[in-house]
Structure 1
Amino acid sequence: MSEVQPVGMPKWGLSMTKGQINDWIVEVGDELAVGDDVVEIETEKINGVLESPVSGVVRRRLAEKGSWVPVGGLLAVVADPSVPEEEIDRFVEEFQASFTAEEEDEESAEAGPESVEVGGRVIRFVSQGDAGDPVVLLHGFGGDLGNWLFTVPALAERHRVHALDLPGHGGSSKDVTPGDLDSLARTLLGFLAVRGIERAHLVGHSMGGLVAMAAALRDPGRVASLALVASAGFGAEMNGGYLDGFVRAGSRRELTPVLRLLFADPDAVTRQLVDDVLKYKRLDGVDAALRLLAGELFPAGTQRHVLVDEAARLGLPTLVVWGDQDQVIPPSHASRAPAHARVEVIGGAGHSPHIERANDVNRLLESFLSGATTRGDGSR
Structure 2
Amino acid sequence: MAEITPIVMPKWGLSMKEGKVNAWLVEVGTRIEVGMPILDVETDKIANEVEAPDAGLLRRQLAAEGDVLPVKALLGVLAEESVSDAEIDAFIAAYQVPDEGDGEEDETGPSDQHVEVDGIRVRYQQTGSGSPVLLIHGFGGDLNNWLFNIDELASRHTVIALDLPAHGASDVRLPASHDLAGMAAFVHRFLQETGYTRVDIMAHSMGGAIAVQLAQDVPDAVGKLVLVSPCGFGEAINMGYVDGFIDAESRRDLKPVLGLLLADPSAVTRAMVDESLRYKRLDGVQDALRALRDAMFADGRQRALPGLALDVKRHPLLLLWGRDDQVVPVAHAEAVPDGTKTVLYEASGHMCHMDHAAEVNPVVLAFLEGS
Q: TM-score, normalised by structure 1?
A: 0.93
Tell me the C-alpha RMSD between the 2 structures: 1.9
Moved more, 280-289 or 169-178: 169-178
Q: Paired residue for 1:353?
A: 352
Q: Tell me the alpha carbon deviations over residues 236-259 of structure 1, each in whole angstroms, 9 at most, x when there is no partner.
A: 011111111111111112111111
Q: Paired residue for 2:146?
A: 148
3-state DSSP of counterpart to 2:215: helix
Q: Contact 2:225/2:318 (CA < 8 Å) preserved in 1?
A: yes
Query: How far apart, in 2, do the equivalents of 1:148 and 1:62 lie?
Result: 29
Report deviation, 1:313.
5.5
Q: Note the 1:41-120 alignment, pairs <5 A.
A: 41-95=41-95, 98-102=96-100, 111-120=110-119
Query: How far apart, in 1, do the equivalents of 2:148 and 2:37 lie?
Result: 15
3-state DSSP of counterpart to 1:368: helix
Query: How far apart, in 1, do the equivalents of 2:15 and 2:123 lie?
Result: 16
Q: Note the 1:196-207 alignment, pairs <5 A.
A: 196-207=195-206
Q: Paired residue for 1:378?
A: none
Q: Structure 1 residues 132, 186: CA separation in 2 closer, same or farther (over 3 Å shift)?
A: same
Q: Structure 1 residues 362, 110: CA separation in 2 closer, same or farther (over 3 Å shift)?
A: closer
Query: How far apart, in 2, do the equivalents of 1:286 and 1:105 lie?
Result: 38
Report deviation, 1:52.
1.3
Q: Paired residue for 1:266?
A: 265
Report deviation, 1:117.
1.0
Q: Tell me the alpha carbon deviations over residues 42-61 of structure 1, each in whole angstroms, 9 at most, x when there is no partner.
A: 11110111111222111111
Query: How far apart, in 2, do the equivalents of 1:284 and 1:314 lie?
Result: 44
Report deviation, 1:283.
0.8
Structure 1 residue identity aligned to 2:87: E
Q: Structure 1 residues 147, 313: CA separation in 2 closer, same or farther (over 3 Å shift)?
A: closer
Structure 2 residue identity aligned to 1:203: M
Q: Contact 1:136/1:203 (CA < 8 Å) preserved in 2?
A: yes
Report deviation, 1:360.
1.8
Query: How far apart, in 2, do the equivalents of 1:235 and 1:325 lie?
Result: 17
Query: How far apart, in 1, do the equivalents of 2:272 and 2:54 lie?
Result: 31
Query: How far apart, in 2, do the equivalents of 1:35 and 1:314 lie?
Result: 33
Query: How far apart, in 1, do the equivalents of 2:337 and 2:2 lie?
Result: 46
3-state DSSP of counterpart to 2:369: helix
Q: Contact 1:323/1:350 (CA < 8 Å) preserved in 2?
A: yes
Q: Structure 1 residues 179, 355: CA separation in 2 closer, same or farther (over 3 Å shift)?
A: same
Report deviation, 1:186.
1.0
Moved more, 104-113 or 351-360: 104-113
Q: Contact 2:324/2:350 (CA < 8 Å) preserved in 1?
A: yes
3-state DSSP of counterpart to 2:304: coil
Structure 2 residue identity aligned to 1:20: K
Q: Contact 1:230/1:321 (CA < 8 Å) preserved in 2?
A: yes
Structure 1 residue identity aligned to 2:304: H
Q: Contact 2:2/2:83 (CA < 8 Å) preserved in 1?
A: no
Q: Paired residue for 1:165?
A: 163
Q: Contact 1:325/1:351 (CA < 8 Å) preserved in 2?
A: yes
Q: Percent identity?
A: 44
Q: Contact 2:114/2:121 (CA < 8 Å) preserved in 1?
A: yes
Q: Paired residue for 1:293?
A: 292
Q: Tell me the alpha carbon deviations over residues 214-257 of structure 1, each in whole angstroms, 9 at most, x when there is no partner.
A: 11011111111110000000100111111111111111121111
Structure 2 residue identity aligned to 1:301: G
Query: How far apart, in 2, do the equivalents of 1:18 and 1:101 lie?
Result: 13
Q: Work out whether 1:362 is the aligned partner of 2:361.
A: yes
Query: How far apart, in 1, do the equivalents of 2:3 and 2:312 lie?
Result: 53
Q: Contact 1:234/1:337 (CA < 8 Å) preserved in 2?
A: yes
Report deviation, 1:174.
2.0
Task: Report runs of 4+ in structure 1 exceeding 4 Å deviation.
Answer: 103-110
Q: Paired residue for 1:325?
A: 324
Q: Tell me the alpha carbon deviations over residues 127-184 of structure 1, each in whole angstroms, 9 at most, x when there is no partner.
A: 111x211111000001111111111112111111111011111111222133211111
Q: Work out whether 1:3 is the aligned partner of 2:3.
A: yes
Q: Structure 1 residues 125, 235: CA separation in 2 closer, same or farther (over 3 Å shift)?
A: same
Q: Paired residue for 2:240?
A: 241
Query: How far apart, in 2, do the equivalents of 1:208 and 1:48 lie?
Result: 23
Q: TM-score, normalised by structure 2?
A: 0.95
Moved more, 304-313 or 321-330: 304-313
Q: Tell me the alpha carbon deviations over residues 63-107 of structure 1, each in whole angstroms, 9 at most, x when there is no partner.
A: 001111210111111111111111111111111xx3345369996
Structure 1 residue identity aligned to 2:69: V
Q: Paired residue for 1:18?
A: 18
Q: Tell me the alpha carbon deviations over residues 294-325 of structure 1, each in whole angstroms, 9 at most, x when there is no partner.
A: 00100122100111121135531111000111
Q: Structure 1 residues 92, 151: CA separation in 2 closer, same or farther (over 3 Å shift)?
A: same
In structure 2, the gaps of 5 or more residues are none
Query: How far apart, in 2, do the equivalents of 1:314 and 1:174 lie?
Result: 37
